[in-house]
């Protein structure tokens, strides 16, 4: 735990807290905060996990029960098979990590070219990419959909194909902005040194730039995966085939046809992967998200 | 970062030897420049194609589509007809009113609450990591889990929320089932799901406030509120205004939560947002021209906010 010195002190000084009255207030506030926050943020998750065990009768019962009277673990099994959760989760995973791979390859290469190779008209390309940040994504949904329906020049229809999710994620001005700004901070002397040693641009990118860019690559990766995992409207439009849908759309479209207890069990299962990943990598994820969004 | 110092030395060692041939320019320079540029565009081509197909071209197409109509596969120019159609749609102003109200509620709850939660968490000397994880937990839920879970809690007959209100002898509510409370119910759930990121960003900003400022305020005899108002708020002004704009732009594009929790338009169209109306035009009425025209209205309104955001963001560097 960090020490509290005058330089990093907060609203209330440590001296105030050390007094008897301060101590009492502090410990009261702390315990209230702990209880309230646990209830508010974990409470609903607890309710989700336990309601998944309730019988159809109990889950619709008033008053609701805190602990399932007669636990039905089979709800989870029913949810898993009836809503084809394995398939839905796999689809989501496939879309998210495919999108991550495309963004890492194309956006990193592009930001590197714009930052270090600086071709003719590079600034216009950069301007065009950053300008897309000004356009709200919801406005572009309709014309993007028409584009995916019939890709100009190539005349391919990407509907129901993972490309329809992967490729548009590459057109992310925020990635270009974050990556280019990070690459700009890598001294050009290093590039020159690599060039003198006979390294081409690809070699320089792989052996010098990328190893130094781990923090920013982490931020971009987290955003890439989380964005696809949480996206709703776009995958709903471009993956209408039920066997190709990600978890959000799949569960919602089947939600009307299953009993409430099975649906809640399905929700609990759907929440598990991201919650587990978060608890495992919470330090990296939280610092990455604040670093990325604060400076972005 | 240790890696940076090692190649630095090699730079200096090789610099003298290599300077000659590299600066030689002249006739060989042109072809080298061309090949360097080609190489650079080789790195850029993937991103340029993706931006071109999925961002730049759709932007142009958005404008074109707003003035076109497709009937039985035949596309024709219709001038301002689409814009007139959506403008005279009986729900046009309803959708804007709902979107405005949604944004306002989301600001009242979703902007103010995380700021004070961050201030509170920043004061606590214990369980800091635990509380931070708690606040961020809902952010990691897939939207379908959060939204459908809250829909279950909101049920007026067997839902958890009415039960809690009853325990405290408070009047119960129809939540999502009434046109008066549906919108605010969605906002409450959406805030629960998303406030974690704003809270963590404010926390990071609070930790950058120099402690001496509070020390000085203490010496001047400032109370708690005046310290928040005269030190905390001004010191985090930039982050606060960035988050404000970001949140306005995000909430004005609300679709997912109203779609999942209130079936889109909600009771008596009380949750129909502009983006939901865009969706309806496109995928219910099959009127993509109308949907694009409605998108233009949204673009016009949001462009101001996005522009302001970009400006503030540039100043923050």
The 10s digit of each residue's pLDDT in B220-230 is 888 888 999 99
Task: Work out the minimum CA distance from B190 to partner chain A, whole angstroms.
Answer: 13
Q: Tell the residue number behind the tokens 């001047």, with chain if given.
A: B220
Mean pLDDT of chain B: 86
Task: Select the residue of A13, A42, A274 nearest B141 (Cβ to Cβ).
Answer: A274
pTM for the whole thing? 0.86
pLDDT at B259 over 90: yes
Task: Give the integer Cα–Cα distance in Å for A95 and A225.
Answer: 9
Average pLDDT of B176-182?
Answer: 91
Express each pLDDT in A198-224 by its tens digit.
Answer: 888 899 999 889 999 988 898 888 889
Confidence (pLDDT) at B102: 93
Average pLDDT of B100-113?
Answer: 91
Q: Is A19 on the interface with B (CB under 8 A)?
A: no
How many helices (H) and strands (E) in chain A? 18, 0
Instruction: List CB contacts (< 8 A) between B252 and chain A.
Output: 136
Average pLDDT of B43-70?
Answer: 94
Contact B58, B230 (CB under 8 A): no
Q: Where are the alpha helices (DSSP H) in B23-91?
A: 27-51, 57-66, 81-87
> Which residues are within 8 A (CB) of B22 and not within 5 positions of it... i.e. 6 or more apart?
A196
Contact B273, B102 (CB under 8 A): yes
User: Measured between alpha carbons, how far is residue A147 from residues A45, A156, A238, A285 in Å?
Assistant: 40, 9, 11, 34
Backbone angles phi, psi at B156, to 5 degrees: -65, -25
**Nearest residue to B273 via CA among B103, B87, B96:** B96
Instruction: List CB contacts (< 8 A) between A5 and chain B.
Output: 211
Tokens found for residue A96:
């998210």
Average pLDDT of B295-309?
Answer: 86
Contact A232, B255 (CB under 8 A): yes
CATH of domain B84-316: 1.10.3720.10
pLDDT at B2 over 60: no
Task: Select the residue of A61, A109, A268 nearest B158 (Cβ to Cβ).
Answer: A61
Confidence (pLDDT) at A161: 93
- Range ranked top by mean pLDDT from A274-283, B72-81, B137-146: B137-146
Cβ B48–A110 below 8 Å, yes or no?
A: yes
pLDDT at A1 over 90: no
Confidence (pLDDT) at A180: 93
Confidence (pLDDT) at A226: 87
Task: Give the integer Cα–Cα distance in Å for A43 and A37.
Answer: 9
In this prediction, residue B316 has a pLDDT band, given cuts at 50, 70 and 90, of low
Confidence (pLDDT) at B12: 42
Query: Domain residues of chain B, as ranges?
Result: 30-66, 84-316
Could you say which architecture CATH assigns to the domain A83-257? Orthogonal Bundle (1.10)
User: Measured between alpha carbons, how far is residue B117 from residues A285, B25, B167, B199, B293 in Å?
Assistant: 20, 61, 26, 7, 40
Cβ contacts from A onto B, under 8 A? 332
Q: Taking the alpha carbons of A72, A73, A75, A78 in that order, is the dihedral positive or negative?
A: negative
**ipTM tops the 0.85 cut:** yes
In this prediction, residue B138 has a pLDDT band, given cuts at 50, 70 and 90, of very high
Instruction: List CB contacts (< 8 A) between A109 and chain B.
Output: 43-44, 46-47
Tokens found for residue A57:
């009768």
Q: Is B262 on the interface with A (CB under 8 A)?
A: no
User: Measured between alpha carbons, how far is residue A210 from residues A96, B48, B276 in Å?
Assistant: 22, 21, 42
pLDDT at A296 over 70: no
Q: Is B220 on the interface with A (CB under 8 A)?
A: no
pLDDT at B19 over 70: no
Instruction: List CB contacts (< 8 A) between B227 and chain A.
Output: 11
Q: What does chain A come to in residues? A: 296
Average pLDDT of A184-191?
Answer: 89
Q: Tell the residue number behind the tokens 């776009």, with chain if given.
A: A234
Task: Give the integer Cα–Cα distance in Å for A167 and B173.
Answer: 45
Report the Cα B240 to chain-centroid distance in Å.
14
Phi-psi region of A285 (alpha: psi -120 to 50; beta: other; left: phi over 0): alpha
In this prediction, residue A280 has a pLDDT band, given cuts at 50, 70 and 90, of confident
Instruction: List CB contacts (< 8 A) between A189 and chain B.
Output: 8, 11
Confidence (pLDDT) at A4: 57
Task: Select the residue of A10, A45, A113 nearest B43 (Cβ to Cβ).
Answer: A113
In this prediction, residue A191 has a pLDDT band, given cuts at 50, 70 and 90, of confident
Query: Domain residues of chain A, as ranges?
Result: 6-78, 83-257
Task: Select the residue of A6, A7, A109 nearest B43 (Cβ to Cβ).
Answer: A109
Count CB atoms within 10 A of the CB of residue B113.
15
Mean pLDDT of chain A: 89
Count CB atoms within 10 A of the CB of residue B70.
14
Long-range contacts for B56-61 (Cβ within 8 Å, ≥24 apart)?
B56/A128, B56/A132, B57/A143, B57/A147, B57/A152, B58/A140, B58/A143, B58/A144, B58/A146, B58/A147, B59/A132, B59/A135, B59/A140, B59/A143, B61/A143, B61/A146, B61/A147
- Helix, strand and coil in chain A, % to nearest 5: 75, 0, 25
Run of H or E residues at A90: helix A85-102
Express each pLDDT in A19-75 by its tens digit.
Answer: 888 889 999 999 999 999 999 999 999 999 999 999 988 988 888 888 888 888 999
Task: Give the integer Cα–Cα distance in Å for A179 and A147.
Answer: 27
């Amino acid at each position: 735990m960090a020490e509290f010195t005058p330089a990093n002190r907060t609203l209330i000084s440590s001296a105030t807290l050390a007094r008897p009255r301060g101590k009492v207030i502090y410990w009261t506030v702390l315990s209230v905060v702990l209880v309230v926050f646990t209830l508010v943020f974990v409470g609903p998750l607890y309710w989700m996990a336990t309601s998944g065990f309730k019988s159809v009768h109990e889950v619709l019962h008033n008053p609701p029960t805190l602990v399932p009277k007669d636990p039905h673990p089979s709800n989870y099994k029913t949810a898993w098979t009836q809503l084809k959760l394995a398939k839905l989760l796999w689809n989501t995973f496939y879309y998210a990590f495919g999108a991550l791979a495309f963004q890492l390859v194309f956006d990193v290469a592009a930001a590197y070219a714009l930052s270090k190779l600086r071709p003719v008209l590079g600034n216009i390309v950069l301007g065009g990419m950053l300008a897309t940040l000004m356009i709200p994504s919801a406005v572009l949904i309709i014309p993007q959909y028409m584009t995916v329906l019939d890709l100009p020049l190539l005349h391919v229809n990407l509907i129901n194909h993972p490309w329809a999710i992967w490729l548009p994620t590459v057109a992310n001005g925020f990635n270009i902005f974050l990556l280019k700004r990070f690459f700009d901070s890598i001294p050009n002397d290093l590039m020159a040194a690599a060039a003198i040693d006979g390294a081409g641009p690809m070699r320089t990118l792989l052996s010098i730039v990328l190893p130094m860019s781990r923090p920013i690559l982490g931020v971009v990766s987290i955003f890439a995966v989380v964005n696809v995992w949480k996206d709703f409207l776009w995958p709903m439009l471009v993956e209408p085939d039920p066997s190709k849908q990600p978890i959000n759309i799949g569960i919602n479209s089947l939600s009307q046809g299953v009993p409430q207890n099975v649906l809640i069990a399905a929700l609990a299962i759907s929440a598990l992967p991201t919650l587990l990943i978060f608890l495992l990598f919470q330090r990296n994820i939280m610092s990455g998200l604040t670093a990325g969004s604060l400076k972005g | 970062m240790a890696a940076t110092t090692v190649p630095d030395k090699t730079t200096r060692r090789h610099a003298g030897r290599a300077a000659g041939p590299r600066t030689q320019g002249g006739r060989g320079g042109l072809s080298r420049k061309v090949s360097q540029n080609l190489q650079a565009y080789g790195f850029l081509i993937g991103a340029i194609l993706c931006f071109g197909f999925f961002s730049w071209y759709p932007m142009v197409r958005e404008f074109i589509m707003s003035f076109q109509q497709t009937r039985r596969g035949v596309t024709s120019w219709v001038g301002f007809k689409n814009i007139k159609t959506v403008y005279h749609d009986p729900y046009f102003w309803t959708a804007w009113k709902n979107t405005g109200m949604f944004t306002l509620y989301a600001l009242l709850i979703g902007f103010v609450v995380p700021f004070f939660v961050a201030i509170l968490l920043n004061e606590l000397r214990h369980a800091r990591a635990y509380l931070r994880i708690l606040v961020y937990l809902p952010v990691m839920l897939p939207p379908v889990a959060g939204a459908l879970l809250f829909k279950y809690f909101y049920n007026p007959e067997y839902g958890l929320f009415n039960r809690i209100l009853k325990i405290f002898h408070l009047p119960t509510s129809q939540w999502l089932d009434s046109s008066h409370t549906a919108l605010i119910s969605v906002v409450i759930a959406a805030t629960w799901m998303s406030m974690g990121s704003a809270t963590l960003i404010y926390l990071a900003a609070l930790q950058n406030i120099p402690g001496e400022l509070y020390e000085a305020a203490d010496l001047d005899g400032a109370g708690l509120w005046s310290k928040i108002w005269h030190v905390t708020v001004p010191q985090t002004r930039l982050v606060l205004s960035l988050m404000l704009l970001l949140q306005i732009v995000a909430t004005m594009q609300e679709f997912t939560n109203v779609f999942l929790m209130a079936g889109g338009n909600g009771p008596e169209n009380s949750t129909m947002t502009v983006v939901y109306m865009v969706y309806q035009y496109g995928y219910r009425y099959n009127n993509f021209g109308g949907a694009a025209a409605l998108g233009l209205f949204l673009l016009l309104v949001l462009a101001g906010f996005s522009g302001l955001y970009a400006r503030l963001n540039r100043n923050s560097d």
